[in-house]
Amino acid sequence: MNEVRLSDYRPPDWLVPTVALDVRLDVDRTLVTSRLTVTRNGDHRRPLRLDGQDLETRRILVDGAPVEAVPNGEELVLAIPGDSAVVEIEVAIAPRTNTRLMGLYGSDDLLVTQCEAEGFRRITWFPDRPDVLSLYTVRLEGDAAQFPILLSNGDRGAAETLDGGRHAVTWTDPWPKPSYLFAMVGGQLAALRDEFVTMNGRRVELAIWTAAADVGRCSHAMAALKASMDWDERIYGREYDLDQFNIVAVSDFNAGAMENKGLNVFNSKYILADSETATDADFDAVAGVVAHEYFHNWTGNRVTCRDWFQLSLKEGLTVFRDQQFSADQGSAAVRRIDDVRALRAVQFPEDAGPHAHPIRPDHYVEIGNFYTATVYNKGAEVIRMLHTLLGRDGFRRGTDLYFERHDGQAVTCEDWVAAMEAATGRNLTQFRRWYDQAGTPTVTVHMARAGRQLTVNLAQSLAATPGQPSKAMMHMPFRLALIGRDSGRRIGDERLVELTAGETRLVFEDLDEPVLLSLNRGFSAPVKVVAPASRADLAFLAGADDDPFARWEAMQRLSLDVLATDDDPHELVDAIAATLADGAAGRLDPAFVGEAVLLPTEAFIGDQASVVDVESIHRRREAARAAIAAVLEPQWWQAWHWHSGTGTALNAGAKGARRLANVALAYLVTAGSAEALAAARQQYDGAATMTDRIGALSALINTDTPERDACLADFYDRFAGNGDVIDKWFTVQALSTRADTLEQVQVLLRHKDFTLHNPNRLRALVGAFAANQRRFHAADGSGYRLLADQLLAVDRINPQSAARLAVPLGRWQRFDAGRGALMQAQLQRIAGTAGVSKDVMEMATRALA
Ligand code: B3K
Ligand code: ZN
């Protein structure tokens, strides 16, 4: 496998100041003529090297003269005698057979592009790297009936009506951009339109394009777009810079969305939403992704990445910005808990396994494999730590300087950190290690009390990761406070301690009562904290900590402690009862209560142990759920009665109420009374929102009851034809804890609505099943075999999608020897299959290393 290394980076030999594309759209054979001005970069005699993939090259001209160059695989080398030239190349491409969904491809009746990271080379020959920035003019031509709407980046220019029912539109983007931000779309689309006036009075036309029948489901996305534009002006002083902003929603898409300049392309899942079809979580995800892609206009587009090793420069920063935006829109505490939950569910395991890599990796085979939770979510945590260390104003001075210095450039993570240092005078030398070192640090806390004095010792450590046997100390902001064990109040102010050494000692004087530690408040550092605490103390903190994250964390720690044993879970039951009582008395909001009373997932419980014991974890967790359900049955009924039937409002209060009602319903169904099944059925039938409908179905899905079967059948009939909702129907079944789940998944793989061609559908069934710890990790390896079969089948269609399916098998070292061997055997089978893609090969071989 051919490895790309950060240390091999060299500036481009040739620059391409301008690109003119002329594209004749056709589903079977699209003709692309490019006209590139190229200029020699630096003092060298090297030829011009262009990247291309799956292109039929028809004609090459240099300065108007035909050239007899023949592509060598995925490279075309052109000798250019002078220091500049005009290169014209005509190629043909075949969108219909482009199942990789990279480059130009068909989705429903549309033709659409995806270029990040290396898709532009599937459209035309080009130096397809992010440090080559060009001004683009794009003329799109096609049949006027088949492609009435023709979109590309920038501002819309002249339209032409042509003979034979054809037409053309020319788009000009005034901002230089790398090829990965190029986009074009053609097809029958309708728009939801609006406008936004920027802080300097620029009137921007906004349009969200989708099938005509779906225009009514775009208003939430439109509201989120306008809110994002306003927020970025207020918080970061960033203004939009074109007269138009277009978004297109498509059904077939590898990622969530793409920030192409002025023409974002979205997975329809992150645009279309109404209360019938989208859950509250979906509404939040739509707003979050719309904001994320919009924020990329500055963090990614105006200032872009020099090379793909710098991916976190734009992704970590933009995730942090979208998290800040979402926190400002609703309950900041619940958002933070959700962010941490996601980090722990995906990124911590990645950082602890064979695919661990720093947020700035230093080598890759296929860059598509590095769009990871580490680069994105840990990357965002690293930016958040800078925000904490520098303070809000210092951070803003830093971003202002970063934009001022680097607007229009392709830069590195080092340039970002250097701007932060220059703007604030802080020395971030040690902090830079977050960019180089993989793995989740651990902070181990000890405390010693002597009279009125308390000494707290904080020790950091970081285990070896692949390729990094020894690690240096990190610089981390660690927030902590003392909580009085008698008063239940915070003692003194919260402290922000900067951990830089192996051990840090803190001394607190003049304490009048016993105290407990409230640690890593707000999850100020993305680390694991190990601190001794009795169950009674954790239960106390779960009721008294004044930091909402730490309060939730105390409940998680208590749960993990109880679930690690076969003990009677009464401490946990009591703590949940106390939380519900605080909620009922109005001392806690329902959204927080709904989070706090949820047990950690089986996967997260497994992450705490050195060897994941699949059966015991499941048995203990189910036993605890049953006890919590039975002992607190009256409280669950009360919570359900109070909070169900909230209607369709999307404010934080209504969302919180629905959340708690659905958690309560799930416990009631677990308790198993006939009344509970009837309540679930009633909620399902009368649901005003998808949150309530899928909440009832999820509560029933683990049962063996007529209610389950009836609701499941109704759900399919009710939403047949709506892809995003039918995905939920597949997922809810794949996540069932019932013993027949694997068999059901096999049946669903043959369902007429299942296809390997649609990445959402694949994730909804196969991806979801691989997250079902109890059933995927069947002791006989049948789950692993199923996953590997699907992976190999998808690899022939879409390698990027296939490679992601290798991740769960890469966890083999975490399981018992029997399961570990069965997982390895599937990885070996994958790696040994002839013709496997480099995407999959890289993931499988790293997993086996
Ligand atoms: N930048 C895109 C990622 C595209 C993924 C390509 N494999 C989406 C985003 O992070 O905003
Ligand atoms: Zn992004």
Continuous H helices in 722-781: 723-734, 741-749, 759-762, 768-770, 773-776
| Ligand 1 nearest-atom number relative to CA 292 | 11
pLDDT tens-digit series, residues 521-548? 999 999 999 999 999 999 999 999 999 9
How far separated are the first and last CA of the chain, in Å rounded? 14
Going by alpha carbons, the residue nearest to atom 10 of ligand 1 is 315
pLDDT at 120 over 90: yes
Q: Which two tokens stand for residue 440?
A: 């989740």
559 CA distance to ligand 1 centroid (A)? 36
d(CA 494, CA 832): 55
Q: Which protein residues touch ligand 1 with a CB less than 6 Å away?
A: 116-117, 254-255, 257-259, 292-293, 296, 315, 368, 371
Beta-ladder partners of 37: 18, 86
Report the run of H or E that residue 2 belongs to, with start and end.
Answer: none
Same fold flag, 1-187 and 725-849: no
Percentage of the residues of the chain whose pLDDT score is greater than 90: 100
- Asked if residues 455 and 507 have their Cβ atoms less than 8 Å apart, the reply is yes
Percentage of the residues of the chain whose pLDDT score is greater than 70: 100
Instruction: Kindly indicate whether the domain formed by 1-187 is annotated with CATH number 2.60.40.1730.
Output: yes
pLDDT tens-digit series, residues 655-693? 999 999 999 999 999 999 999 999 999 999 999 999 999
331 CA distance to ligand 2 centroid (A)? 23
Q: What is the mean pLDDT of residues 162-182?
A: 98
293 catalytic residue (yes or no): yes
pLDDT of residue 601: 98
d(CA 767, CA 348): 18
Catalytic residue among 116, 118, 259, 293: 293
Give 46's pLDDT tier (boundaries 50, 70, 90).
very high
- In CATH, what class is 725-849? mainly alpha
Q: Given ligand 1 and candidates 293, 304, 318, 843, which is best to mutate, with the most ligand atoms within 8 Å of its CB?
A: 293
CA 614 to chain centre: 27
Whether omega before 117 lies within 30 degrees of 0, making that bond cis, reads yes
Going by alpha carbons, the residue nearest to atom 9 of ligand 1 is 258
- Which ligand sits nearest to residue 759's alpha carbon? 1
Going by alpha carbons, the residue nearest to atom 3 of ligand 1 is 258
Report how far apart, in Å, the C-alpha atoms of 592 and of each of 322, 520, 538, 605 are: 21, 19, 17, 21
pLDDT at 73 over 90: yes
pLDDT of residue 704: 98
**pLDDT averaged over every residue in the chain:** 98
| Ligand 1 nearest-atom number relative to CA 296 | 11
Q: What is the mean pLDDT of residues 808-837?
A: 98
pLDDT tens-digit series, residues 713-733? 999 999 999 999 999 999 999
For ligand 2, a single-atom ion, the residues with CB < 5 A are 315, 318
Q: Which two tokens stand for residue 681?
A: 């059925």
399 CA distance to ligand 2 centroid (A)? 17
pLDDT at 330 over 90: no
pLDDT of residue 826: 98
pLDDT of residue 417: 99
Indicate the domain borders of the chain: 1-187, 442-536, 725-849
The vertex-232 CA angle with 230 and 238, nearest 5°, equals 110
262 CA distance to ligand 1 centroid (A)? 15
Q: Given ligand 1 and candidates 315, 366, 369, 843, which is best to mutate, with the most ligand atoms within 8 Å of its CB?
A: 315
d(CA 112, CA 185): 4
Q: What is the model's pTM? A: 0.99
pLDDT of residue 729: 99
Q: Given ligand 1 and candidates 290, 296, 317, which is best to mutate, with the most ligand atoms within 8 Å of its CB?
A: 296
Under DSSP, the state recorded for 752 is: T
Going by alpha carbons, the residue nearest to atom 1 of ligand 1 is 258
pLDDT of residue 1: 84
Tokens 């301690």, residue?
A: 497
d(CA 188, CA 437): 48
| CATH numeric code, 442-536 | 2.60.40.1840
Q: What is the mean pLDDT of residues 292-314?
A: 99
Q: Which two tokens stand for residue 741?
A: 């789940």
Give 498's pLDDT tier (boundaries 50, 70, 90).
very high
Going by alpha carbons, the residue nearest to atom 7 of ligand 1 is 368
Q: Order the strands of the 103-107 sheet from edge to edge.
A: 103-107, 110-114, 184-187, 149-152
638 CA distance to ligand 1 centroid (A)? 44
Strands 244-250 and 263-267: parallel
